[in-house]
Amino acid sequence: MFHKPLAVLACTVLLASCATMPAPRNLPGARFQQEQQIHDQRLAACTLPPPPAITAPLTRVNPATFAEGADLVGPGDRLKLTISGDTDTLTGSYVVGANGRLTIPYLGNIVAEGRPVSDVEREVRQRLLAGAFVRGISGGVKLTQSEAAGVQVSVEGAVFEPGLVRAGERQADARATTVDHPATGDFNAGRTLSSALRAAGGIRPDAAAQAVYLVRGSAYAIVDVSPAFTGGVPADPQLAAGDRIIVPSASCFQADFARPSSVTAPGVRVYLSNLSRPAASNASSAIGRDSTSFPYGTRMLQGLVSANCVGGSAMNAGRKAVLISRNPVTGRSVVISRSVEGLVRDSNRDLLNPVLMPGDAIACYDSDAMTFVDAVGVVGSLLGPAVLVNGLKQ
């Protein structure tokens, strides 16, 4: 009497094991790359966007104006004041405060942020003369920059991590070396446009790299950073505290921009999960911190290899994998399903192998054959006790 219900249950489980995984559904416009398309559908064409509205009342200048202009003082900069005939009263090193002001005894606060050192020196000299601290001797008052600290700037638009960033921030040991070995002047190689872009996660593949806007005060410049991908030398002006960088989006995916460069991130972190047979956990799949860090430009198939989702038993050759990503232009998430074996063997793999973006996730699933084997095991575990009970009753 037990045989018929058990047979029905066994057939149900075995048939269910043969069912394929439902295809992920995505909202229209969620896909970002051509490789995320299941069929050859065209994505948005590249277009150079109009200038940002903020630039309308500003004056456009050549990028060389910013690149070749005098370095501007910013918060954290260290300035050295030298007064003839004075050794320790006013002569010494002074650090520009967070409010952008230079505080010198008897002279009060002097606005230094956003001004050339020569301009600040002129004001210091005038105040010293007005207070009768010095005589009007040429060269009697000198103010020089002994340390250029990092600057805080704003980066927005087609970058992976927009917001306020610090460009040229130095480590404590490097700053100590600069202070212990003072020199006239200082060059901070990190206070540049490219450093700020990388600090903001790097430009995205949809960025209009030919027209990056650098806004400073009442002026702005359009900087072409695309030579960073062609072997040229892009303009890379020094930044000043309070600068604003705007990276427009070209509304399209440009695969040439998805690789390490001076304006993109060197690598990405990706979430991996492989619980397919024979792995019992992600730890047994050798998925750790190192296996989830990839050079920028790595594609899905390489990520599957890192997750140990490729190779092994022929019974599991039909594995499937999904890529969970987010369209940075629309903000919509997308889930892409791929056949692992198809990515390995199909000749059109390049059309179906997306580039991994920061924060993407990959998950591997067992093949139908391995799922069937598991189903047989479940049926066996259910039938065993029932057959034993039935045998005892007979």
pLDDT tens digits, one per residue of 338-368 = 999 899 998 888 889 999 999 999 998 886 5
**In-domain check, residue 61:** yes
pLDDT band at 17 (very low <50, low <70, confident <90, very high): very low
Which of 221, 252, 283 lies at the terminal end of a domain, its last residue? 252
- Tell me the mean pLDDT in the region 82-90: 86
Instruction: Kindly state whether residues 277 and 352 are assigned to the same domain.
Output: yes
Q: Is there a contact between 260 and 194 (Cβ–Cβ < 8 Å)?
A: no
Residue 116 CB neighbour total at 10 angstroms = 15
CA neighbor of 150 nearest in space, from 199, 107, 92, 104 = 199
How far, CA to CA in Å, does 225 sit from each of 203, 214, 220, 230?
10, 12, 16, 10
**Does 371 score more than 60 pLDDT?**
no
Shared domain check, 245 and 311: no
Closest of 114, 143, 113 to residue 126, by C-alpha: 143
Closest by alpha carbon to 29, among 41, 20, 11?
A: 41
The tally of CA atoms less than 13 A away on the side-chain side of residue 381 is 7
User: How far is residue 156 CA from its own chain's centroid?
Assistant: 12
Asked whether residue 286 is assigned to any structural domain, the reply reads yes
Whether residues 118 and 172 fall in one domain: no
Q: Are residues 186 and 65 in the same domain?
A: yes
Distances (CA, A) of 168 to 65, 82, 151, 194, 240: 20, 27, 7, 11, 11
| pLDDT higher at 118 or 137 | 118
Does residue 381 carry a pLDDT above 80? no
Residues 283, 324 contacting (CB under 8 angstroms)? no
Burial grade of 267 (CB within 10 A; 0-12, 13-18, 19 or more): middle
For the record, the structure tokens of 259 come out as 């690789």
Of the chain, the percentage scoring pLDDT greater than 90 comes to: 45
Average pLDDT over residues 91-100: 91
Q: Which of 12-26, 182-196, 249-263 has the highest mean pLDDT?
A: 249-263
Q: Is 167 helix (H, G, I), strand (E, B) or coil?
A: strand
Q: Is 70 exposed, middle or buried (0-12, 13-18, 19+ CB in 10 A)?
A: exposed
At 366 the pLDDT is 82
334 part of a folded domain: yes
What's the domain count of the chain?
4
pLDDT reading at 379 higher than 90: no
* Measured distance CA(46)–CA(263) in Å, rounded: 20
182 forms beta bridges with none
The residue from 125, 144, 163 where one domain ends is 144
Residue 257 is assigned to a structural domain of this protein: no
**pLDDT band at 15; cut points 50, 70, 90:** very low
User: Based on the domain organization, do 88 and 200 belong to the same domain?
Assistant: no
- Report residue 226 as tokens: 């695309």
pTM confidence score: 0.80
- The residues pairing with 166 across neighbouring beta strands, listed in sequence order, are 152
Q: Is there a single domain that holds both residue 135 and residue 161?
A: no
- Name the residue among 170, 161, 206 with its Cα closest to residue 76: 170
Same domain, 117 and 238: no
In which order are the strands placed within the sheet that holds 163-167? 59-60, 219-223, 212-216, 244-247, 151-157, 163-167
pLDDT band at 14 (very low <50, low <70, confident <90, very high): very low
Structural domain range at position 377: 3-14+372-393
Query: How much of the chain exceeds pLDDT 70, in percent?
Result: 81
In a domain, 48, yes or no: no
With a CB cutoff of 8 Å and minimum separation 6, the contacts of 360 are: 268, 270, 271, 303, 323, 324, 325
| Residue 65 and residue 168 share a domain | yes
74 in a domain, yes or no?
A: no
**CA–CA distance, 170 with 150 (Å, rounded to integer):** 7
Confidence of residue 310 (pLDDT cuts 50, 70, 90): confident
Boundary-marking domain end, from 101, 124, 144 = 144
Instruction: Please give the sequence-ordered ranges of beta strands (E in DSSP) within 301-353, or none if there are none.
Output: 320-326, 333-339
Examine the pLDDT at 177 and tell me if it is beyond 60: no
pLDDT of residue 29: 84
Q: Is the pLDDT of residue 372 over 50?
A: no
Q: Are residue 217 and residue 277 in the same domain, yes or no?
A: no
Q: Is residue 261 part of a domain?
A: no
Which pLDDT score, from 0 to 100, does residue 248 have? 96
The H helix count followed by the E strand count for the chain is 8, 17
DSSP 80: E
Q: Write b or e for each residue in 358-371: b if 16 or more Cβ atoms lie within 10 A of its Cβ, otherwise e.
A: bebbbbbbbbbbbb
Say if residues 105 and 117 touch (Cβ distance below 8 Å): no
Confidence of residue 13 (pLDDT cuts 50, 70, 90): very low
Cα 191 to Cα 40, 199, 238, 295: the distances in Å are: 43, 11, 5, 25
Ranking 85-89, 140-144, 379-383 by mean pLDDT, the lowest is: 379-383
Task: Give residue 179's pLDDT.
Answer: 56
Q: Where are the alpha helices (DSSP H) in 203-306?
A: 300-306
Give the CATH number for residue 58: 3.10.560.10
Q: Where residue 184 falls among pLDDT bands split at 50, 70, 90? A: low
**pLDDT of res. 276:** 79
Residue for token pair 């069929």: 39
Question: Both 62 and 166 in a single domain?
Answer: yes
Q: Which residue has the tokens 């003839």?
A: 84
What count of other Cβ atoms lies within 10 Å of the Cβ of residue 224? Answer: 15
Q: How confident is the model at residue 68 (pLDDT cuts 50, 70, 90)?
A: confident
Check which CATH number belongs to the domain holding 105 and give it: 3.30.1950.10
Is residue 159 located within the same domain as residue 278?
no
In-domain check, residue 127:
yes
The string of pLDDT tens digits covering residues 206-241 is 999 999 999 999 999 999 999 999 888 888 898 998
Tell me, yes or no, whether 271 and 360 share the same domain.
yes
Give the pLDDT mean for 6-22. Answer: 52
Through-space distance between the first and last CA atoms of the chain, rounded to whole angstroms:
11
Distance of CA 48 to the CA centre of its chain: 22
> Over 80: is that where the pLDDT of 324 sits?
yes
Q: How many residues does the chain have?
A: 394
